[in-house]
Amino acid sequence: MHLTSTLLAGAAAVATAAAGNNYLGFNSGATLADRSAKFKKDFEAEFKTAQGLSGAPGKFNAVRLYTNIQAYSKSDPIEAFEAAVETETYMLLGVWASGDDNLDNEMTALNAAIKKHGSKFTDLVIGMSIGSEDLYRNSVTGTKNKAGVGADPSVILNYIDKYKKSDAGKALSSVPIGHVDTWDAWTNSSNKAVIDAVDWIGVDEYPYYESGKGNDIKNAGKLFDKAYDATRAVAGSKPVWVTETGWPVTGEKWDEAEPSVENAKYYWDEIGCRQLFGKTPTFWYNLRDSNPDNTMKFAITKDLSTTPYFDLTCPTTFDTPTGDSSSSSSSGSSTATSGSSGSSTSVSSPTSSGSGSGSGSNPGSGSSGAGASGSTSGSPKPSSTNKDSGAGKMVTSSTAAGVLALVGAFFLF
What is the C-alpha separation between 218 and 315, in angstroms, rounded? 16
The helix/strand/coil state of 186 is helix
**Rounded to whole angstroms, how far apart are CA atoms 85 and 125?**
10
The answer to whether 227 touches 203, Cβ cutoff 8 Å, is: yes
Active-site entry in 46, 106, 205, 244: 244
Helices of type H across 20-102: 40-51, 80-87
Instruction: Note the Cα 2 to chain centre separation in Å.
Output: 36
Concerning whether 133 is annotated as a catalytic residue, the answer is yes
Closest by alpha carbon to 195, among 178, 172, 183?
178
H/E stretch holding 90: strand 90-95
Strand 24-28 to strand 62-65: parallel, antiparallel, or no bridges (unpaired)?
Answer: parallel
Burial class for 119, CB neighbours closer than 10 Å (0-12, 13-18, 19+): exposed
Catalytic residue among 133, 205, 210, 270: 133
Rounded Cα distance between 262 and 126, Å, is 33
Which residue, among 242, 245, 140, 225, has the nearest Cα to 190 in the 3D structure? 140
Query: CA 236 → CA 195, 246, 330, distances in Å?
Result: 9, 25, 7
**Do the beta carbons of residue 67 and residue 78 sit within 8 Å?**
yes
What span, in angstroms and rounded, lies between the C-alpha atoms of 216 and 297?
18
Q: Is 86 a catalytic residue?
A: no
Strands (E) in 163-272, as ranges, are: 177-182, 200-204, 240-244
What residues are labeled active site? 133, 244
